[in-house]
Amino acid sequence: MEIKFQTDVGRKRNTNQDYAGLFENQLSVPLAVLADGMGGHQAGDVASHMAVHDLGQDWEQTTVADSEKAVQWLIKLIQQENERIFEQGQSQAEYMGMGTTIVSAVLLKDSFVLANIGDSRAYLVRNQQLLQLTEDHSLVNELVKSGEITREMAANHPRKNVLTRSLGMPGVVDVDVSSHTWMAGDYLLLCSDGLTNMVSETQILEILELDQPLDQKIDTLIQLANEAGGLDNITVLVVHFDTQEEENQ
């Protein structure tokens, strides 16, 4: 299993409110976390950093190694983090209303568990296909689901950045959690909307299927997002479940 990630400020923003991290627990089980913060001043930076750092720090102390416990841990910790970020947002005027998306993956021996809130996405590449595994918690996605607009209309909708769910909301927030079996050769992509708003899914699939080192593929995806305008911060995290890993287990 090979895991790489990179983040880039893009071409239009002064600061990078995206944050990502990779952590291992006591049993060397990896956790990948990616967050895209929102809020004025440096509030978005604070929220995304808190989400990634706090989950990672707790994960490093755990001995979780199966899917069911990973689901329970993710729901519990993300709920706790929602409360922490909300409280921090209430504590200082400049942090008022801050929040963040989150998409995270616990990478197990033969499966992975995803948890997400917001519009940062997880995709699986298998058999020359790119499959979106997460659902955007956004106003535009709700309009698509209800049939009010098409997916094509959604791509350029003026309110496409309005989220219906994020970390940092008052009360209990619903966490989408799902378990998936991986196969040798699969790629798992976690990314912020700075990538998906700029680079088509067809292009993403083409790049991930190239016979190149993982670092180079990630560099190319970020470069394409910037060439398309780089309107937002861009963060890309890719996991390659390679053949050797499966044979060794």
pLDDT at 246: 39
CA distance 9 to 160: 20
Dihedral (CA of 131, 233, 237, 106) sign: negative
Mean pLDDT of all residues in the chain? 92
CA distances from 186 to 1, 159, 160 (A): 10, 34, 30
**Is pTM beyond 0.85 here?**
yes
Residue of 238, 246, 133 whose CA lies nearest to 188: 238
State how far the Cα of 172 lies from the Cα of 131, in Å rounded to an integer: 29
- Asked whether the beta carbons of 134 and 114 are under 8 A apart, the reply is yes
Helix (H, G, I), strand (E, B) or coil at 247: helix
Distance between CA atoms of residues 50 and 44, nearest Å: 10
Q: Could you report the per-residue pLDDT of 16-25, keeping only the tens digit for each?
A: 999 999 999 9
pLDDT > 90: percent of the chain = 80
User: Does 2-248 carry CATH code 3.60.40.10?
Assistant: yes
**The dihedral sign for the CA sequence 183, 207, 45, 98:** negative
192-240 per-position pLDDT tens digit: 999 999 999 999 999 999 999 999 999 999 999 999 999 999 999 999 9
Assess contact for 33 and 23: CB atoms under 8 A: yes
